[in-house]
Amino acid sequence: MIDIFLKEFAKLIVENPDSVRVETNEVDSTFSEVTIYVDKADTGKIIGKDGKVINAIKTVIAACKAKSGKSYRINIKSDNEE
């Protein structure tokens, strides 16, 4: 559910929505690491000025912890990076 939300939200922000993909790595039953891959030119748009966009995304995702009890770490990487 988180990965679908993040993918659709990122597509609304970036210039190249076709390059957006999201991968989720379940570390354990209470923690997941989510990586959003975007085009290199769109990395700054996802982060936002002074990190405001990514911090807003993290705040929304943190609210999901209240319901499910699961913590998430959100990472942004350019699609060319591995």
Q: Residue 81 pLDDT > 70, yes or no?
A: no
Find the CATH number of the domain harbouring 74: 3.30.300.20
> Residue 9: which of 53, 70, 64 has the closest Cα?
53
Which whole number is the average pLDDT over 13-33? Answer: 91
Total of domains in the chain: 1
Q: Which two tokens stand for residue 34?
A: 């989510």
- The answer to whether 37 and 21 have CB atoms below 8 angstroms apart is yes
pLDDT digits (tens, 9 = 90+) for 40-54: 999 999 999 999 999
Which whole number is the average pLDDT over 27-31? Answer: 88
Give me the domain span that covers residue 21: 2-78
Q: Please name every residue paired with 73 in a beta bridge, in sequence order, or none if there are none.
A: 33
| 23 or 70, greater pLDDT | 23
β strands within 1-82, DSSP E: 21-28, 31-38, 71-78
